[in-house]
Amino acid sequence: MAFHEVRFPANLSFGSVGGPERRTDVVTLANGFEERNTPWANARRRYDAGVGLRSLDDIADLIAFFEARQGQLFGFRWKDWADFKSCQPSGVVEVTVHTAEEGDVFGWSAVVEPHTYTASARCIEKTEDICIKGSDLTSLFEQNPRMGYIVMRNLSSAVSSRLTDTRQKLTTLMAPAKSGE
C-alpha cells in the first residue's frame, strides 16, 4: 500500500463525522439460509471532513493536501477525535480552566437564566466563601435595581474574563493539533 507518513490537518478533521465500518457479503442460499463472509479482517474507518471546513482557506488547504496525496493514491494518518482520550470512554477527565482568587465569584447560574450549572468548583486550600440563595439575591435586585445593575455588571465582567481565559487556554491546548502534531 502506498502511504505518506503525514497526518490530515487536525484543524480540518476536528468536528468530522464517521467512524469504523465493516464489509459483509450476505449470500442467500437456495434453502433460505444465509452465508456471511467478510473480506476484511478488521474494520476500516471512513470520515467526512466537510463539516470541519470553516473558510475558503480551509478548502484550499484540503485541496492542497489531497493534491499532494494524488487523490486516493496515497494513504495518510488521521486523528480520530472520538478515539483520542486518555481514559475509558465513560471515564472523567478533570480540566481546570480557572482558579478563583480572593474576591472572585462562582456559581452565578443561580441568578442567570436558564439556571444551568456549566462548571463545578472545588477548594484546593482552606477557603472562606459567602453563599447566597439565588432567589433571595434576585428578590434583593428587584427591590434595589441599582444594586442589581452593579452586581450584574461586575458579574458579566467576570464571565467575560473567564471566557477570554478559557479561549486562550483552549487555543494553547489545540495549538499542537493545528500544527499537525
pLDDT per residue as tens, the chain (181 positions): 699 999 999 888 887 888 788 899 999 999 999 999 999 888 888 888 887 788 899 899 999 999 999 988 999 988 877 666 666 767 776 666 667 777 676 777 777 777 777 667 777 778 777 777 888 888 898 999 999 898 888 888 888 887 887 787 777 766 654 444 4
pLDDT at 179: 44
Sequence-distant (6+) residues with CB within 8 A of 96 are none
* Residue 12 burial class via C-beta count within 10 angstroms: exposed 0-12, middle 13-18, buried 19 and up: buried
What pLDDT shows up at residue 132?
78
Four-point Cα dihedral 52, 54, 58, 62, nearest 10? 30
Residue 165 and residue 100: Cα distance in Å, rounded? 12
